[in-house]
Structure 1
Amino acid sequence: MPTLLRRVKAKMFIFAHRRTLKLLDGEYGSVFKGRSLDFDELRAYVPGDEVRDIDWKATARHGSPLVKRYVAVRRHAVLLLVDTGRNMGAQALSGESKKDIAVQAAGVLGYLASRHGDDVGLVHGNAIESKYLPPRNGEEHLERLLREVDASATLDAPASGIAEQLDYVLRYLKGRLLIVVVADEFLPDARTEALMRRLRGRHEVLWLTVRDAELAAEAGNRMQDSTDVGTGQGIPLPLAVNGKVRAAYAAAMLERGRRRRDVFHRLGIAEEQTTGSEHVLTAVFSLLEKHRAGAFTARTSALGGSRAG
């Protein structure tokens, strides 16, 4: 039986030209530009030091100029934060299981990280529990992470609750991380939004959303009843195909989508959506572009503000 990572790589080469893969590889690398140094310690200023390295707050407290010293970072830590509650066992907009799309997305991102020598870890879980696999490098380790996601996101699992995984990271993981969240199309409540804000303040966060199935999805060539696997509530097929019901549902989903976009925009978190496995590469590329552009805008604004002051 082929490994999950082998399937991921096979789909990557099926759904993308070599030039596209090279661009995607470069886009991943650009995310870390300007982030290759970690703070080490403060020391006294000596002639020849860069003025931009002066820590002005520490200087004010100390009474004489102090500069920051940095050490080179040869490896970065990438954390895949994946919802593996039963919501991810449901159908996506493409008709595939959301779990299969999550495995593909996690595999693509993990593979890119491994190619750049970065360590990849995983936090996954549901509303009841979270599990952590620490960052390591190598394809065998990545295969283990993908198998964790594949085995855990089932219709028998507890309901999804991404807030619990966000809380786990904030409580137990130290050091700055590049976090890529893979979850379904949910609307963050007040608690989840507060956790997202705190996570964004400590780490670099990218968010990939797996789109939900339509109101009455197809099973083969047959329409079937719609059921919310999170709550167990269903809509009978005759009602689900009713024109007025579908129009009201579509309007409600548009409003929900607008509110979701507002949350991510307000928090400054790059978010992209994917409808299925065929769209994962495009979505990942767009997500990396959005994150890089957002980080550049934030840095430019900060520099402009400091000059204006």
Structure 2
Amino acid sequence: MTSLLHRVKSKMAIFAHRKARGMLDGEYGSVFRGRSLDFDDLRAYVPGDEVRDIDWKASARHGSPLIKRYVAVRRQTVLLIADTGRNMAAESRDGETKKDIAVMALGVVGYLAHRHGDVVGLVCGDANSTRSLPAKAGEAHLERLLREVDSAAGLDSGPSRIEDQLEHVARTVKGRFLLFVVADEFAASPGTEQLLRRLRAQHEILWLTVRDADLAGTGSAPRESFNVADSSVLLGHVAGSAVVAAAYAKAAEEREAGRQAMFRRTGITQGHVSGSSTVMTELFALLERHRRAG
């Protein structure tokens, strides 16, 4: 059986060259701003590093910018939060299963945390149950987390309800963590916004939305599909109707606008992906936006 983490690292190598992966490392390191004053070593500057960390004297001697690195005060904790309800068994906009994209995104962030010496935990589930795995270090542990998400999300899972997983975190997690949430295009609500405000007051939060597939029949030959949420059939000739397509697009835009407004009001940095090929680019942009917002 192929390791999911190995698959993630292989895709990282395909979708981003070495310099880009170094930039992603730098952006990840900027999320936790607390650090000691114990100098460790110097490394080459990459876009996204803090200018204040440049060692100007060493840079002048070297001929190019060098960044001062410090020994971390303590190991940080990253908590991956994933929707594993049956919505994640549906197709994404690029045709991949949403679950596979979620595993890729969670794997990249988990691997970045591992490279920085941080520990990683997981909270995942659906409307029926929530499962929590404690934060630990090591690639073997990260592989276990990814396999948990991969095996939990399927057509026989309960309905997606990311609010339940967030509520579990609010009730049980003490201390300040980095929360990395991966979910589908859920609808915003006053209750969800209140919960996010509560979490944001305690934690750093990054949110990644996996895009829904286009309405069946749009942009291609009409075909029959079904809604994974309730197994209702979506008739290809109905989905191909211009009137139905327009109404669907309007509803999707309104739901997106509501979600975006909620994230702005709660101060949560968010992004979205349509397929595995966009995960690396969007995660870099997400981390950069979070740094700038801070």
TM-score norm. by structure 1 comes to 0.80
How much does 1:2 deviate? 1.8
Per the alignment, residue 124 of structure 1 pairs with: 124
Do 1:210 and 1:275's aligned partners in 2 also have CA atoms closer than 8 Å?
yes
- Please identify, of 115-124 and 72-81, the stretch whose mean Cα deviation from structure 2 is larger: 72-81
Deviations 1:146-167 (A, max 9, x none): 0000000001100111111011
Do 1:79 and 1:122's aligned partners in 2 also have CA atoms closer than 8 Å?
yes
Per the alignment, residue 90 of structure 2 pairs with: 90
Distance in 1, matches of 2:126 and 2:223, equals 27
Structure 1 residues 35, 215: CA separation in 2 closer, same or farther (over 3 Å shift)? farther
Aligned amino acid, residue 150 of structure 2:
D
How much does 1:74 deviate? 2.1
Per the alignment, residue 62 of structure 2 pairs with: none
Deviations 1:222-269 (A, max 9, x none): 643243212333331111011121122112212221111101001100
Structure 1 residues 288, 36: CA separation in 2 closer, same or farther (over 3 Å shift)? farther
Do 1:217 and 1:226's aligned partners in 2 also have CA atoms closer than 8 Å?
no
Q: Describe the SS at the equivalent of 1:282.
A: helix
Distance in 2, matches of 1:243 and 1:172, equals 48
Structure 1 residues 140, 224: CA separation in 2 closer, same or farther (over 3 Å shift)? same
Structure 1 residues 157, 183: CA separation in 2 closer, same or farther (over 3 Å shift)? same
Deviations 1:88-109 (A, max 9, x none): 0111101000000000000000
Distance in 1, matches of 2:262 and 2:167, equals 18
Larger Rg: 1
Structure 1 residues 5-154: aligned runs within 5 Å: 5-34=5-34, 73-154=73-154
Q: Describe the SS at the equivalent of 1:9.
A: helix
Per the alignment, residue 180 of structure 2 pairs with: 180
Do 1:95 and 1:217's aligned partners in 2 also have CA atoms closer than 8 Å?
no
How much does 1:34 deviate? 3.3
Aligned amino acid, residue 3 of structure 1:
S
Q: Describe the SS at the equivalent of 2:101.
A: helix
Aligned amino acid, residue 266 of structure 2:
L
How much does 1:85 deviate? 0.6
Structure 1 residues 228-247: aligned runs within 5 Å: 228-247=227-246
Per the alignment, residue 283 of structure 2 pairs with: 284
Distance in 2, matches of 1:31 and 1:217, equals 42
Distance in 2, matches of 1:207 and 1:35, equals 24
Q: Describe the SS at the equivalent of 2:181.
A: strand
Structure 1 residues 153-232: aligned runs within 5 Å: 153-216=153-216, 223-232=222-231
Structure 1 residues 250, 36: CA separation in 2 closer, same or farther (over 3 Å shift)? farther
Distance in 2, matches of 1:36 and 1:283, equals 30
Deviations 1:33-59 (A, max 9, x none): 33569xxxxxxxxxxxxxxxxxxxxxx
TM-score norm. by structure 2 comes to 0.84
Q: Describe the SS at the equivalent of 1:73.
A: coil
Q: Provide structure 1 residue ranges, at least 5 long, that are not aligned to the other structure.
A: 38-71, 296-309
Distance in 1, matches of 2:93 and 2:154, equals 17
Do 2:83 and 2:182's aligned partners in 1 also have CA atoms closer than 8 Å?
yes
Distance in 1, matches of 2:103 and 2:257, equals 27
Structure 1 residues 118, 183: CA separation in 2 closer, same or farther (over 3 Å shift)? same
Q: How many residues align?
A: 259
Distance in 2, matches of 1:99 and 1:188, equals 21
Identity over aligned pairs, percent: 55
Do 2:217 and 2:237's aligned partners in 1 also have CA atoms closer than 8 Å?
no
Do 2:217 and 2:236's aligned partners in 1 also have CA atoms closer than 8 Å?
no
Deviations 1:67-123 (A, max 9, x none): xxxxx7320000000000111011110100000000000000000000000000000
**Which consecutive aligned stretches of 4+ in structure 1 deviate over 4 angstroms post-superposition?**
none
Distance in 1, matches of 2:197 and 2:109, equals 23
Distance in 2, matches of 1:226 and 1:246, equals 15
How much does 1:19 deviate? 1.1
Do 2:223 and 2:237's aligned partners in 1 also have CA atoms closer than 8 Å?
no
